[in-house]
Chains A and B, each alone.
Chain A
Amino acid sequence: MLSCILSGPLRSRLASFLSFSHQPSNPMPKDFLKHARDRYDVVVIGSGLAGLTSANILARQGRSVLLLEQHYKLGGMATWFKRPGGHIFDISLHGFPFGMVKSCRRYWSQEIADSIVQLDGVRFDNPMFSMWTSFTREDFTNQLIEKFGLAEEKVTAFFDKARSMNFYDDQAMTTRELFDEFFPGREDVIRLLMEPITYANGSTLEDPAISYGIVFSNFMSKGVFTFQGGTDKLIHQMEAELKKSGVDIAIKCDATKINIAGEKVVSVEIDAKGATHTILCDAVVSNANIRQTIFDLVGEEKFDRGFIDDAKAVRLNNSSTQVYMALQEDERLDVKELGDLLFSSTAPTFETEALLSRDITSRTFSFYYPKTRPHAPPRCLIVSSTNANYHDWADLPEDEYAASKKDLCETTLDALDKYVPNIRERVVHVEASTPRSFKHYTHHPSGASFGTKFEGLAVSRALPQQITGLYHAGSVGIIMSGWLGAMNYGVIVANEVDSQLMNNNSRSTGDVERSIVDDVAAS
Chain B
Amino acid sequence: MTTTDIKKEILDILEVIAPDEDLTNLDDAVNFRDQLELDSMDFLDIVMELRKRHRVQVPEDDYIQLASMNSTVAFLEPLMKDIVKA
Chain A positions within 8 Å of B, measured between CB atoms, are 57, 60-62, 102-103, 106, 488, 491-492, 494-495, 498-499, 502-503, 509, 513, 520
Contact = CB atoms under 8 A, between A and B. Distances in A.
B17 interface: yes
Closest 3 CB pairs of A and B: A61-B52, A495-B48, A495-B44
8 contacts: A60-B52, A106-B17, A491-B41, A494-B48, A495-B48, A498-B48, A502-B57, A513-B55
A503 B58 CA distance: 12
B84 A502 contact: no
A497 to B, nearest CB: 11
Contacts of A57: 48
B81 interface: no
B48 A503 contact: no
Contacts, number: 32
Contact of A106 (B45, B55, B57): B45
B57 A503 contact: yes
Contacts of B41: 102-103, 106, 488, 491-492
User: From DSSP, what is the main secondary structure of chain A's interface residues?
Assistant: helix
A386 B48 CA distance: 39
B47 interface: yes
Contacts of B55: 502, 509, 513
Contact of A495 (B17, B47, B84, B86): B47
Contact of A498 (B51, B84, B86): B51
B45 A61 contact: no
B51 A499 contact: yes
Contacts of A495: 44, 47-48
Contacts of B44: 491-492, 495
A320 to B, nearest CB: 28
A520 B84 contact: yes
A520 B83 CA distance: 12
Nearest to A516: B86
Given A61-B51, A61-B52, 17 more contacts: A57-B48, A62-B52, A102-B41, A106-B45, A488-B41, A491-B41, A492-B41, A492-B44, A494-B48, A495-B47, A498-B48, A498-B51, A499-B57, A502-B51, A513-B55, A520-B84, A520-B86
Contacts of A60: 52
Contacts of B86: 520
A499 B47 CA distance: 10
A106 B18 CA distance: 9
A102 B48 CA distance: 16
A274 to B, nearest CB: 37
Contacts of B17: 106
Contacts of B84: 520
Contacts of A494: 48
A445 B51 CA distance: 37
Nearest to A492: B44
Nearest to B56: A502
Interface string B3-30: 0000000000000010000000000000
Contacts of A498: 48, 51
B60 to A, nearest CB: 8
A195 B52 CA distance: 42
A60 B49 CA distance: 10
A495 B45 CA distance: 9
B33 to A, nearest CB: 14
A488 B17 CA distance: 15
Nearest to A517: B84
Contacts of A499: 51, 57
Contacts of B47: 495
